[in-house]
Structure 1
Amino acid sequence: MADGLRKGLTSYGDAGFSLFLRKAFIKAMGYSDDALNRPIVGITNTYSDYNPCHGNVPQIIEAVKRGVMLSGAMPFVFPTISIAESFAHPTSMYLRNLMAMDTEEMIRAQPMDAVIVIGGCDKTLPAQIMAAVSADLPTVVIPVGPMVVGHHKGEVLGACTDCRRLWGKYRAGEIDDVEIEAVNGRLAPSVGTCMVMGTASTMACVTEALGLSLPMSATIPAPHAERFRLAEASGRVAAEMAKTKGPKPREILTPSALRNAQIVMQAIGGSTNGLIHLTAIANRSPHKIDLAAFDKLGREVPVLVDLKPSGEHYMEHFHHAGGVPKLMAQLGDLLDLDAKTITGQTLREIVAGAEEVPGQDAIRSKANPIKAEGAIAILHGNLAPRGAVIKQSAASPKLLQHTGRAVVFESVEDMTLRVDDPALDVTADDVLVLRNAGPKGAPGMPEAGYLPIPKKLARAGVKDMVRISDARMSGTAFGTIVLHITPESAVGGPLALVRNGDMIRLDVAKRSIDLLVDDAELEKRRAAQAAAGTPDWAKRGYAQLFNQTILQADEGCDFDFMRAEGK
């Protein structure tokens, strides 16, 4: 098998000429024959001026290159798409699959014996791992790491749980314009991803649990020197993988590894987005995520990490308490500790080396959990025949069993226009319903599931309500919020049939979400629905590809032709 610079020669009909031409042009970069005869480690560059989450990527790349060269291989950096959560229109999820395709094709197109992917902001790690599993080249994943915490009036702040909490106070009139502007400058005091257990932190922990990154890679703060030492060590590992041609991602992503990742996701109070991403990753392999099995784990695995939005601490506290290795030590025999990692170590060996930190309270024992059950529950019912999710660890206990009157918003735009209308007929006991916010309906399944409390209720002191939608929610958010209702309303799901005033019953203990309207009436409403056509936004280009091929949330929102078996 060809390797190094001889791998994947451009087709000119003459292999000798292809290599001659490749070497002639790459020598224009000043490389020697000695350098060009080494195994090659490709390194993705996801830096962008639009992406503060990835602000430390240039330093990470330099450290990675150092590690690769110290181990006798040759680093080659190449750019891919960079997705920043708050700068992506209409939503970062709309672009995740494009980034996965871009990354996969660049890995395939360019000569490399191993690859290092560097990412962090919510959709980048999932996209890169999806690509890595499909390309199946030896891969090391480096998360960019979380921000350090901010401070305001003696209070510790974290983006973006405290963004939402303090914005809620501002909407309720408890904070004035001057103070909210001061807060705005203190929520994100460094580069890196959100320092709470949002989607970025969730996916970094999941990546470490899968064995695709080095121990402690999920939690080291982005600006810390330790982050760059880890990058150098990752470069060394990738160089060895380039020489030995393995292990490859599909060797690491066994059913046991995927189960371990699900257990860790439950135990950290992970983002509901993590389930969509892990499903998409699994679907790029020969394996699947079973929602019923995931929910069963949720009943068996307690939340052990005391981190916002489910608890009180932040990612740097989790790190200093021992990080994912210490969490896995506490989980013990719930995990398959014989699962292999990219370093050649098993999780058992990594857990054996976990740091013991006297007095730390960020990582609890199974005997003293934050929550007795895991973070995420899977719901079914006549509103969600193929499932819905709720982050029960971040919900109000008193609302986990609730029946209320539906207040329906037809779209994100409709909600934006009407939710604060003083004339809106709404009470604290009602259920806010948002539809046409799913993968096709929005498009791109925006993080609009965190419907704001109507201003007149917020100013009356209401902090939470039951809210349901076919949208997603940021992992940094909190509240009694049912998400990912599948099938979505835009493809004829039952959510499209809900009317103002209908009664909806949520019962998390029974794992149910139901519209209390009889079947005959629902059939009558369904018959009256107009057939869905191609929306204007999907007439051409990537938008048309997205609209025609996007899968539902229970299938990972990947494109139907990108799964392991194709379309």
Structure 2
Amino acid sequence: MTFTPAPWPRKLRSQEWFGGTTKDAIYHRSWMKNQGLPADLFDGRPVIGICNTWSELTPCNAHLRDLAEKVKFGVYEAGGLPVEFPVFSPSESTLRPTAMMFRNLCAMDVEEAIRGKCIDGVVLLAGCDKTTPALLMGAASVDLPAIMVSGGPMLNGHFRGERVGSGTHLWKFSEAVKAGEMTADEFVEAEASMSRSPGSCNTMGTASTMASMAEALGMTLSGNAAIPAVDSRRRMMAHLTGRRIVQMVKDDLKPSDIMTKNAFENAIRVNGAIGGSTNAVIHLLAVAGRVGIDLTLDDWDRCGRDVPTVVNLMPSGKYLMEEFFFAGGLPVVIKRLGESGLLHKDALTVSGGPIWDEVKNVQNWNDDVILPVEKALAQSGGIAVLRGNLAPGGAVLKPSAASPHLMQHRGRAVVFEDIDDYKARIEDEALDIDETCVMVLKNCGPRGYPGMAEVGNMGLPPKVLRKGIVDMVRISDARMSGTAYGTVVLHTSPEAARGGPLAVVRSGDMIELDVAARRIHLDISDEELAARLAAWVPAVKPPVGGYAQLYHERVMGPDTGADFDFLVGCRGNAVARESH
């Protein structure tokens, strides 16, 4: 598929603000000129917004001011006028109760800023887990020409001769302390090795996954996802992105032209091949909802089920994002899918051409990082979508990060009513639990936590860890970090706070997990389940006032993307002209 450019020149949207000699036009131009801008910058050239999630409280994105300057160089070179503007920046590492609660707030900010400002196209600067989907969601709902450039992953960490992955080793070292295999002082010493440069997680966590999803969707220039944050080629990517958005405005190439159903299917398969985060499920469902694409959990299982996981990165494998970049990055993976018949090759990208043209000539420079199919980490990777009486709306599990011996398991439930209950009891030596049990955590979904925090990968009890056990089956309506690992069933829908079956699981109930059969089953009769649900009383009190109340009342379930119900769909870029 090749995009056919629209005629140029044509009247630009920004000329509704700046064109002519009316009182309104003079008002807008005169205020802009107080920044020292020459008059000819308003003569009809494209005005390009740079939507920046830079924040010193969002460490993944704290270097984006530098990238914005490089974008500006490219915009000026291509004959446009760049204008940078800030939007809300939710950080997973510093924002409470959880950044996921504020993804939708960020998306609202982005949408209204793009629609309401005097711009013809927009460059989206993102980096962390939530800013990438939020910016794609907001841009999709406006549908002006848009392109994304990511901040990139941080450099590899190293501690005592061991390669250290941000996030992944946090969980590993924390469990080692509880098991008595690592001292608290050693844990603190390891801290300095976890985040040794600007950028997002250096594992295939949610940030790197979502950068990969943006590239697989066609919303970035090819090769964007894996370039390290501090590599000079990251700055060059920003520069080239600035050039490209000007041409996209001239061609009127919009998100709705790029993010088609085929593009989402490509992204789902790429997620399986890279061993991507389970969080991608929620985020892509939300982005698709904004574009108007009918994407469901069933699409995730249908498209991703038979995709081998060939990227050997933590948490599923052993390498980090630096090695992935040096091996050739995401274009190599996309090419591999195309050669296997698992890619819609004609899907359009921001380049104006089909995705296959971007990748067909790339090479794999390290087949221990990007593995041959016969050596895949998991022959059936992707995201497993489980259903049953415990999750009638679906639940997800990441096979490439799970333990093979637990993929079919029956065990006794040990129930934690919420995260506080879990924290209060998990280290109690009297807790009736062993490695055969199934840990169940309730009330941590979108409404329950609130915001659906990354607590689903519950740490194991110390008395189990001391046996040398490193994994147990865990089930919740929560999320988990993309850097985490284990046999963890997540996003159980409907969530407990909405009265889903998870809400009435009791300690001692038997639970069956069968990943191959895509089944998650609470072993009680239908009559008993119905009686428990009829007697259920909500444990979560609705918040009163502010954004928290809005979130609680209007957030949808994880099976549809956890967006606000009133934000689904594209509302376009029309805005009323004011009069002064």
* TM-score normalised according to structure 1 size: 0.96
Match of 2:518 in 1: 511
Instruction: Tell me what 2:22 maps to.
Output: 16
State the 1:385 CA deviation: 0.2
1 CA distance for matches of 2:111 and 2:266?
A: 25
| 1:348 aligned to which of 352, 356, 366 | 356
Distance 1:165 1:34 in 2: 58
CA displacement, residues 374-429 of structure 1 (integer Å, 9 cap, x when unaligned): 23100000000010000111001001111111110011111111111122111111
2:482 is aligned with 1:475:
yes
Q: Deviations over 1:534-554 (max 9, x none)?
A: 52xx21111111111100011
Q: Which residue of 1 aligns with 2:16?
A: 7
Structure 1 residue 363 corresponds to structure 2 residue 370 = yes
Counterparts of 1:276 and 1:533, CA distance in 2: 22
Written as runs of structure 1 = structure 2, the 5 A alignment for 1:113-512 is 113-244=120-251, 246-332=252-338, 333-357=341-365, 359-512=366-519
Distance 1:435 1:532 in 2: 10
Deviation string, structure 1 residues 500-544 (Cα, Å, up to 9, x no partner): 111011010111011101122222222222257852xx2111111
Residue identity in the other structure for 2:530 = E
Selected match of 2:562 from 536, 557, 562: 557
Unpaired runs of at least 5, structure 1: none
Query: Larger deviation: 390-399 or 290-299?
Result: 290-299
Partner Cα separation in structure 1 for residue 194 and residue 502 of structure 2: 36
Residues 4 and 112, structure 1, Cα contact 8 Å, conserved in 2: yes
CA distance in 1, matches of 2:505, 2:444: 14
Deviation of 1:364 after TM superposition, in Å, equals: 1.9
Secondary structure of the residue aligned to 1:87 is coil
User: Does the alignment pair 1:74 with 2:81?
Assistant: yes
Note closer, same or farther for the CA distance 1:533–1:460 as it changes in structure 2 (3 Å cut).
Answer: closer
* 1:271-329 CA-partner distances (Å, limit 9, x unpaired): 00001000000011121223223212233211111111111111111111111111111
1:394–1:478 Cα contact (<8 Å) kept: yes
Q: Which moved more, 1:509-518 or 1:367-376?
A: 367-376
Rounded Cα–Cα distance in structure 2 between residues aligned with 1:452 and 1:531: 26
Aligned AA (1:528)? A
SS across alignment from 2:567: coil
Residues 378 and 399 of structure 2 are in contact (CA less than 8 Å); yes or no, is this contact kept in structure 1?
no
Distance 2:540 2:296 in 1: 32
- 8 Å contact kept, 1:491–1:532: no
Q: What amino acid is the match of 1:557?
A: A
1:8/1:109 contact within 8 Å kept:
no
CA RMSD of aligned residues (A): 1.7
1:366 CA displacement: 2.7
1:341 maps to a residue whose letter is T
1:445 to partner: Cα distance: 0.4
The secondary structure found in structure 2 opposite 1:485 is strand
1:544 equivalent among 543, 549, 568 = 549
Given the alignment, which residue of 59, 64, 89 partners 2:66?
Answer: 59
Q: Structure 2, unaligned stretches of length 5 or more?
A: 1-9, 572-580
1:27 Cα deviation after fit? 1.0
Q: 130-139 vs 330-339, which deviates more?
A: 330-339
Cα shift readout 1:243-272 (whole Å, capped 9, x = no counterpart) = 33x210001011111110111011110100
Instruction: Please tell me the residue identity of whatever aligns with 1:351.
Output: V
List structure 1 segments (4+ residues) > 4 angstroms apart after TM superposition: 531-534
Moved more, 33-42 or 472-481: 33-42
Contact 1:329 1:354 in 2 (8 A): yes
TM-fit CA distance, 1:350: 0.8
Contact 2:75/2:81 (8 A) holds in 1: yes
The alpha-carbon deviation at position 9 of structure 1 amounts to: 7.7
CA distance in 2, matches of 1:398, 1:259: 30
Higher mean C-alpha displacement, 273-282 vs 514-523: 514-523
Tell me whether 1:107 sits opposite 2:83 in the alignment: no
The 1:134/1:400 distance shift into structure 2, 3 A limit, reads same
- Contact 2:509/2:522 (8 A) holds in 1: yes
Indicate the percent of aligned positions where both proteins have the same amino acid: 45
Kindly indicate whether the alpha-carbon contact (under 8 Å) linking 1:3 and 1:111 is maintained by their aligned counterparts in 2.
Answer: no
- 1:444-467 per-residue CA deviation (whole Å, 9 max, x = no partner) reads 000010111012211232211100
Distance 1:42 1:565 in 2: 19
Aligned length: 559
In structure 2, relative to structure 1, the CA distance for the partners of 1:534 and 1:7 (3 Å cut) is farther
